[in-house]
Amino acid sequence: MSDNRLDPVLSYLKSHHQEHLEELQDFLAIPSISALSQHKPDVLRAAQWLKHRLNAAGFHHATIHETPGNPVVTASSDMKAGRPTVLVYGHYDVQPVDPLESWNHGPFEPTIEDDILYARGSSDDKGQVYMQLIAAEAWVKTGGLPVNLKFLFEGEEEIGSLHLGDYIRAHQHELSADVAVISDTPMYQDGYPAISYGLRGLASFEVTVRGPYQDLHSGGYGGTVMNPAHALAHLIDSLHDDRGRVSVDGFYDQVDPLSDPERDALSQLPFDPETYCQSLKVPALFGEKGYTVNEQAWARPTLEVNGMWAGFTGEGQKTIIPASAHAKVTCRLVPHQDPTQVLDAIETHLKTHLPPGVQLQVERFHGAPASITPLDHPAIRAAGAAIEAVYHTKAAFIRMGGSIPVVVDFQEVLHIPTLLLGFALPDENFHAPNEHFHLANFYRGSETVATLWSQLGGLNG
Ligand code: BES
Ligand code: MN
Ligand code: MN
């Protein structure tokens, strides 16, 4: 049955496609890269853009809050008793754009081709933040929201949400809500929208192996000292066995095993390893034996080298023994794994396996535990109904391999679950060259969010 307050909202969205697209392109043109200090002014500009836009949408107390890092932007609707309060979170910062030469258009010159919008941040996450904004605005402009909304947008998600936890702890009362909603994940496949009920956590570190006091002539000294690059390669190799398991003692101790019903449910999702392989242009897959690809990517912990360097990497040849060798490593964690304990176990492993003649240094970065949302939460049911109403298909219930650190703070500080309702596609190049967002999902996603507010507000009975 159609709801006579929702109809004008959806019409409003449909009749503003052109304005919305142009405005989103303005937002995407701001290079709000949080990892690079020279872009700090751009990050601030994106925060200001959001604040002004929230004001224009009718959220009159939109505010920029300074933090020791990048600012948090908040706003809220009128608060009325007797209806649910939803905390909408998103991030306005984006990842760096290198390698720039692999982009077909400038990453901050948003371009539309074949109903696809190309730009850094188009799908992760500025495009989805903007979708949340216009869905709420459409309600405000057509008679008023059926739920209480609070917005929380941050500019440090892509660098680990370094200061958001403190902000949330200091503003618990202002942020109190019944549920958090985040649009910062992909759907399962094109045409197959999804509700994610789990994210992996993260533990990261940089390892440095030091040898001689400076680079040495490899003819003069080769054969007499341990080469730090060899020592590092040995260490990295020792971290996995040939069945794809992490060989660190204790790494799996706290891991929550997948239940049989959950494995059954995940195995019902359509999946073709051949297509997956081809889409990645790899000759074969390699992962932990005994698990399906979706299980490997969503529900099993991993350890991956993100970057490794040592010695001479320029053109031609230079015969040296490098003074040091380096690797950046991240682990994806699953529920119950504690980032600190995982890093302790890895550090012990590295010390034990360090070859003689070199020294080891491990620097730890900010981590985050994994999260799970109970599937029986009313907001999850409401989101399922909203997806069905707009996409005319049932939602997939999936987990995700990526991390959104704030979800754990919502759980532990605000004591609320998080509904992950994202409209990107898995191959829209998050963090990679030619990031894009399908406009069809941008439009239908904003309609789905608008429908969700009607469902949650009980308007559909
Ligand atoms: N939107 C992603 C998280 C994500 C990616 C969820 C893919 C599901 C599937 C988010 O912006 C992100 O990239 N998070 C980082 C967090 C890290 C920097 C602490 C990640 O997962 O690497
Ligand atoms: Mn994101
Ligand atoms: Mn990201």
| Domain regions of the chain by residue span | 6-199+370-456, 201-255+301-368
Looking at residue 460, its pLDDT comes to 62
Low-confidence residues of the chain: pLDDT under 70: 1-3, 460-461
**142 C-alpha to ligand 1 centroid (Å):** 34
- The CB-based long-range contact list for 219-226 (8 Å cut-off, 24+ gap) reads 219/319, 221/321, 222/321, 225/321, 225/357, 226/355, 226/356, 226/357, 226/358
Burial of 261 (0-12, 13-18, 19+ CB in 10 A): exposed
Strands (E), 139-247: 148-154, 179-182, 194-199, 201-210, 216-217
What is the model's pLDDT at position 4? 87
Q: Which pLDDT score is estimated for 461?
A: 44
Look at residue 1 in the predicted model and tell me its pLDDT. Answer: 43
Report residue 120 as tokens: 């850094």
State the pLDDT at residue 2.
52
Instruction: For helices 126-141 and 17-28, give the axis angle rounded to 10 degrees.
Output: 140
By most ligand atoms within 8 Å of CB, the mutation choice from 94, 158, 408, 421 for ligand 1 is: 158
Cα 280 to ligand 3 centroid, rounded to whole Å: 19
Q: Nearest CA to 310 among 296, 298, 328, 292?
A: 328
Q: Is residue 404 in contact with ligand 1, taking CB distance under 6 Å?
A: yes
- Report the interhelical angle of 228-237 vs 339-353 (nearest 10°): 130
- pLDDT given for residue 366 in this prediction: 85
pTM for the full model?
0.96
Please tell me the CATH superfamily of domain 6-199+370-456, with its number. Answer: Zn peptidases (3.40.630.10)
Q: By the 8 A CB rule, do 250 and 345 touch?
A: yes
Give SS3 for 53. helix
129 CA to middle of ligand 2, Å? Answer: 10
Q: Regarding the domain delimited by 201-255+301-368, which CATH topology (the fold level of the hierarchy) does it fall under? A: Alpha-Beta Plaits (3.30.70)
- Whether residue 371 has its Cβ less than 6 Å from ligand 1: no
Task: Return the ligand number nearest the Cα of 400.
Answer: 1
Check residue 3 and give its pLDDT: 61
CB of 93 sitting under 6 A from ligand 1: no
Q: CA-to-CA distance for 14 and 458, rounded, in angstroms? A: 23
How far, in Å, is the centroid of ligand 3 from the Cα of 107? 15
Q: Please give the order of strands across the beta sheet that includes 201-210.
A: 302-310, 324-333, 201-210, 359-364
**Matching fold, domains 6-199+370-456 and 201-255+301-368:** no
